[in-house]
Amino acid sequence: MQPAPLPDDEPLRLSTLQALGILDTPPEERYDRLTRLAKRLFHVRIAAINFIDAERQWTKSAQGMSLDSLPRSLSFCAHTILSPDLLIVEDTFLDPRFRDHPFVVGDPHVRFYAGAPLTATNGTRLGTLCIADDHPRPFPAEDRQLLRDLATMAQEELMAVQLATMCDLTLLSNRRGFMTLATHSLHLCQRLNTTAMLLYFDLDHFKQINDTYGHAAGDQALMEFAQALKSTFRSSDVIGRLGGDEFVVLLTNTDPEQIDQVIQRLEDEVNQLNQEHDFKIEFSLGMTLFDPDIHKDIDDLLNESDKQMYQQKRSKRNRILAP
């Protein structure tokens, strides 16, 4: 068998998938009804909605198979997300990518596969709605269009989730999305006994940008700062816009002694952006290293970092006002 190569937009694809907060969530009827419908309409043994994570295929909904995950290297759907259209394999024995696949030569003896990619609003393909059977079969144009229609319905459900958990201006997690992802990441750090640090950013003089240059410039400042955060931090870090001009980043499994270098890279990125327009993006920052003996949850980290951020902001004002 041939494992699928990575898509060209893999970092953005993974960050979009993580921001949705759908991975490792319980079954939901809105997805289950689509896989039930697909199984019945196409008269197949298996119908599923799968998402392709960094190292695994994770199943959100399935009929005819267990809800589980499998290595990405064994995923049919990892091949499907490489293209914007359907992947149709009418006979796996005739396809060199799959003819010696363990799920083809062994249980569940997949001889037919058809998958439609599920695309996020930013164009990244996150997973699939797919069907499979234990005997080869043709898949005519009418069936192909029906599978596309079902995938569109699944995408609409995903878009509803995305709109509820993402900031449509910056494409970062909004407060709700950040809290969901950060809570999950913090629990994981506790189980693995690894470090976590919260950074709380607030843009300085943001109202002045809006008042002097207009709200379009203010929106541009927010989008550019969001992009600077995404360029500076890792795809495994949880980045969010809490609202207004407040941004947060939860870093996991990182060396606290290197955080000054990371902040310097962010400042360099912002300074480079400031060369391109009249207004100036500046920020104040509060940082808190997670201590399970002091911080019981993500709210504690946010509150402490928020206080530190405002202390830095006040000290800047005091320096300006000093004679």
Domain ranges for the chain: 10-164, 175-321
Query: What are the average pLDDT values for consecutive 10-residue runs of the chain, which has 323 residues?
Result: 90 83 89 95 96 96 90 97 97 96 95 97 93 97 96 91 83 87 82 90 94 94 95 87 95 88 95 93 95 92 94 76 49
d(CA 224, CA 222) in angstroms, rounded, equals 6
Residue 110 phi, psi dihedral angles, 5° rounding: -70, 115
Of 226, 198, 188, the residue nearest 294 (C-alpha): 198
H/E run at residue 203: strand 196-203
pLDDT score of 320: 52
Instruction: Answer whether 254's CB lies under 8 Å from 197's CB.
Output: yes
Q: What is the pTM of this model?
A: 0.64
Fold of 175-321: Alpha-Beta Plaits (3.30.70)
d(CA 79, CA 254) in angstroms, rounded, equals 32
Q: How wide is the angle at C-alpha 231 spanned by C-alphas 226 and 236, nearest 5°?
A: 95
- One of 1.10.3720.10, 3.30.450.40, 3.40.50.2300, 3.40.50.300 is the CATH number of 10-164, namely 3.30.450.40
Residue 230 phi, psi dihedral angles, 5° rounding: -65, -35
